[in-house]
Amino acid sequence: METAEARYQSLMRAIARHAPTTDIALVDQAYRYADMKHKKQLRKSGEPYIIHPLAVAEIVVEIGLDTDAILAALLHDCLEDTDASFDEIARLFGRTVAELVEGVTKLTRVNYSTTEEQQMENLRKMFMAMSKDIRVILIKIADRLHNMRTLEYQTPAKQKSKSTETMEIYAPLAHRLGMQKLKWELEDISLQYLDPEGYQQIVDYLQAHKDADDRFMQSIQQKITERLESVGIHGTIYGRIKHVYSIYRKLKDQHKSIEELYDLYAFRVIVDDIPDCYNVLGHIHDLFNLVPGRFKDYISTPKPNMYQSLHTTVIGSEGIPFEVQIRTWQMHETAEYGVAAHWKYKQGGAGAGEEKEFEWVRRLLESQQDTEAEDYIHSLKVDMFNDEVFVFTPRGKVISLPAGSTPIDFAYAIHSAVGNSMVGAKVNNRIASFDMKLKNGDIVEVLTSKSAKGPSRDWLKICQSNQARIKIKQWFKKEKREENIVHGKASFEAELKRMSIDPAVLQNEEVLPTILRKVSFDCLDDMYAAIGYGGMTAVKCVNRIRDELVKANKSLPAKDLTPKALQGVGKKQTVTANSGVIVEDIGSCLVKFSRCCTPVPGDPIIGFVTKGYGVSIHRCDCPNASPTLIERQPDRWVRASWADTTGEEPFATSLEIDCKDRDGLMLDLAMVMTSLKIKVTEISCRAVPDGKAIASLTFTVHDVAELNNVTAKLRSVTGVENVRRGKS
């Protein structure tokens, strides 16, 4: 078992290597103070608790932060777990250190496994902390990394929940901050607990082929080294196997076994200056065969997280392809540690609020004002974690947008006032339609007018960025309430008609308050206005109302929801064995769930008495349970509902997804299901005309709420245009 003193000496060695200008006396004082405060506390491993703050401080040193950050790392759990106070820490170590500790403490209290409303507030805390001082989130990532390194001492349930949280929040955040080295380790450890079998298969394969891989990489390194020495370029070459999670994603994406993968190797050539980067690129292409379409220049066009490198994929004489990344030493440090490396080159230690590199943080913060929880969570998924496209303003400023963005998205990325006054756009000096998909390198100019009438409702269907969608909804909410009410009421009543629900139920004074509570509005006009400006969909409102009415009168199919029916008389109800379904006026009988509509608990349902096969349960909106069909054989249709105990066992269901056909689509869909811990039994995809595809997923859920959550997450995947219920 490691001692606190041994870990402290390890920290001192790290400081000597990476941060020799650190104030050692202050570090020692902070260590002694934290050790005193945590004296009686132990980690799950049985080690003294102080070992954790020491380990976090060492990570902070390795990524290049300053003395204040190192002190805050040592003290980061004192406010949460001991009797230490903000004022005491400020008096001993300075107000900046105390504020860093307080910021990390607030993030430690965040619980990500919550409802979306709570999650929005939790994420707001995180981004607010980042906007004030980026070191807060860097220390928190270091804290999470050490906790993941020691996850073996936690319970299996805790291991999975922390790994999911890390994969969904911390690894993408590290990526967005350019901290690739930490991102890779976070992903690999998370995978180890989320799919231990898949993880171990890759590790075993790499270990078995280690000698052959080492020989291959040494031969490539030698060829590059000899060429650079012959032309007088000083460079350092590293070769590596791609990390485990990267290989795991390739296996899922390409539907291959690990033996069939070939793109496993990556080499880095690190040189002294930018001209040498391009010189090396020429020599690499002379030594090896270029793979067309695989060259990227991130030096002339850096990523928003400051990443710069030249990327090219080539094929060696052995016929094995590999990637080469070429960069300077400063670029390399930025690639490894992102914004943390940038800290070394800043003067004065100001917070991140004044740094142009973190405009994406401010954009996300802007969207939180007056925004629905589900919209914001979706915004985070689309705008932070998905692919991007890089375009230019006429003055050459780089604007990053989600892939598939349009001129409308560009306009709102500049400013909401620009988007609201937009009347047209030019792309590469040519007039462009509002729905044109922007490509990397496009030069976009927004045409505005003071007499513009504001955004169109159709823009909500066109734009890809949730920032644009949120700002458009905010404009309608503030500027067009009366119009919103009219528009929203029409949409709502049309949806009621589609669902065969009598609008007169809203006049029932006993029912109306319950309905309004269900949709979280004070009056009908507020609900209509929200539908009108896009804050709530008519479909969602009607579904919630329908569910509430069905719940109030469980035996009633949705099509019969009329004021008269709501006064209904109860009938005999019998829970059929092992089905979780109540069928009226029929004793215990065989129940099966129809494959044409795959009902799950929470769906309004109806039963059809078959000849010799019991009762077949359909969703009330199933085409095979239409009013016309019911009228033809009324004696064979029976009322049915879900028993209160339903939801304990999973039910099979399926979704069909209309989407744009693109590389990596199936992987992204599968990753969504994995992140939600949904058991998928079948997944397939078929191409259709016009570059489109239809994906089919068969899986199990416990109820319609879980299914709706899956549907919402799948809709956030880039290229997905529609998600609908399918056949099992």
* 105/687 Cα distance (integer angstroms): 50
pLDDT digits (tens, 9 = 90+) for 23-80: 999 999 999 999 999 988 998 888 999 999 999 999 999 988 899 999 999 999 998 8
C-alpha torsion 488→489→492→495, nearest 10: -110
- Containing H/E element for 140? helix 134-149
Nearest to 579 by CA among 637, 625, 639, 643: 643
pLDDT in tens, 707-723: 988 998 899 888 899 99
Taking the C-alpha atoms of residue 290 and residue 337, their distance in angstroms, rounded to an integer, is 29
Res. 539 pLDDT band, cuts 50 70 90: confident
Q: For residue 15, what pLDDT band results from cuts at 50, 70 and 90?
A: very high
Secondary element (H or E) of residue 173: helix 171-176
What is the pLDDT of the chain when averaged over all its residues?
80
Q: Of the candidates 505, 594, 601, 513, which has an alpha carbon nearest to the alpha carbon of residue 546? A: 505
Q: Give the N- to C-terminal CA distance of the chain in Å, as an integer.
A: 53
Strand-pairing partners, residue 149, are: none
Q: Is the pLDDT of residue 347 over 50?
A: no
More confident residue, 578 or 299: 299
- Crossing angle of the two packed helices 538-552 and 481-498, in degrees rounded to 10: 50
> How many residues would you count in the chain?
728
Fold (topology level) of 4-179: Hypothetical protein af1432 (1.10.3210)
CA 357 to chain centre: 21
pLDDT at 555: 40
pLDDT of 443:
85
For 199, the token pair is 């993880």
What is the Cα–Cα distance from 607 to 557, expressed in whole angstroms? 10
Query: What DSSP string describes 559-573?
Result: GG-STTGGG-----E
- Let me know if the fold of 202-337 is the same as that of 651-725: no
Q: Where are the alpha helices (DSSP H) in 19-115?
A: 24-37, 51-62, 67-75, 78-81, 86-93, 95-108
Q: How many CB atoms lie within 10 A of CB 90?
A: 16
CA distances from 376 to 471, 593, 599 (A): 12, 36, 30
Q: Which residues are catalytic?
A: 80-81
125 confidence band (pLDDT: 50, 70, 90): low
**Site of tokens 């012959």:** 230
Q: pLDDT tens for residues 484-515?
A: 788 888 888 888 877 777 777 777 666 677 77
The reported pLDDT for the residue numbered 112 is 54
Distance (Å, whole) CA 153 – CA 449: 62
- Do 183 and 175 contact (CB within 8 A), yes or no? yes
Q: Which CATH class is domain 651-725?
A: alpha beta
Residue 25's contacts (CB-CB under 8 Å, 6 or more residues apart) are none
pLDDT grade for 110, boundaries at 50, 70 and 90 = low
Mean pLDDT of 286-290: 87
Q: What is the DSSP code (8-state) at residue 277?
A: H
Q: Is a pLDDT exceeding 60 seen at residue 142? A: yes
Provide DSSP, 693-720. Answer: EEEEEEEEESSHHHHHHHHHHHHTSTTE
> Could you tell me what percent of the chain has a pLDDT over 90?
29
Mean pLDDT for the stretch of residues 82-97: 93
Q: Name every residue whose Cβ is closer than 8 Å to that of residue 282 and which is 6 or more positions away in sequence.
A: none
Q: What is the pLDDT of residue 478?
A: 74
Report the candidate in 573, 537, 534, 533 with the shortest Cα–Cα distance to residue 553. Answer: 573
Work out the average pLDDT over 636-664: 79
C-alpha 279/C-alpha 25 separation (Å) is 46
Q: Is the pLDDT of residue 522 over 90?
A: no
CA distance 11 to 534: 53
DSSP secondary structure letter of residue 437: P
Provide the 10 A C-beta neighbour count for residue 75.
27
Structure tokens at 321: 């392809």
Identify the pLDDT of residue 126. 56
| 355-383 burial: b if 16+ Cβ within 10 Å, else e | eebbebbebbeebbeebbebbbbbbbbbb
Burial (CB count <10 Å: 0-12, 13-18, 19+), residue 446: buried
If you average pLDDT over each of 28-37, 357-366, 650-659, which comes out highest? 28-37
Nearest-angstrom CA–CA distance, 479 and 180: 44
Rounded alpha-carbon distances, angstroms, from residue 24 to 31, 573, 605: 10, 76, 70
Angstrom CA distances, 379 to 1, 411, 665, 716, stand at 45, 17, 19, 9
Q: How many CB atoms lie within 10 A of CB 303?
A: 17
Banded model confidence at residue 349, pLDDT cuts 50, 70, 90: very low
* C-alpha to C-alpha distances, 586 to 37, 589, 603, 629, 638, nearest whole angstrom: 68, 7, 21, 21, 9
Compute CA distances 159 → 194, 229, 522, whole Å: 8, 49, 42
Q: How confident is the model at residue 564 (pLDDT cuts 50, 70, 90)?
A: very low
- Quote the Cα angle for 221-227-232, to 5°: 120
CATH of 202-337 given 3.30.460.10, 3.40.50.720, 3.90.870.40, 3.40.605.10: 3.30.460.10
Confidence of residue 367 (pLDDT cuts 50, 70, 90): low
Q: What is the DSSP string of 440-461?
A: TT-BEEEEE-TT-----TTHHH
Q: Which superfamily does CATH assign the domain made up of 356-478 to?
A: Beta-grasp domain (3.10.20.30)
Lowest mean pLDDT among 502-511, 557-566, 586-595, 714-723: 557-566
Over residues 371-428, the pLDDT tens digits come to 555 554 455 444 444 466 778 788 767 687 888 899 999 999 998 889 989 999 999 8
pLDDT at 240 over 80: yes
Residue 671: exposure state from Cβ atoms within 10 A (0-12, 13-18, ≥19):
middle
What is the three-state SS of 661-689?
CCCCHHHHHHHHHHHCCCCEEEEEEEEEC
Could you tell me the residue ranges of all domains in the chain?
A: 4-179, 202-337, 356-478, 480-564, 577-642, 651-725
What's the pLDDT at 109?
59
Structure token pair of residue 494: 């049309």
Q: How far apart are CA 323 and CA 332, in angstroms?
A: 16
Q: Percent of the chain having pLDDT more than 70?
A: 80
Amino acid of residue 139: I
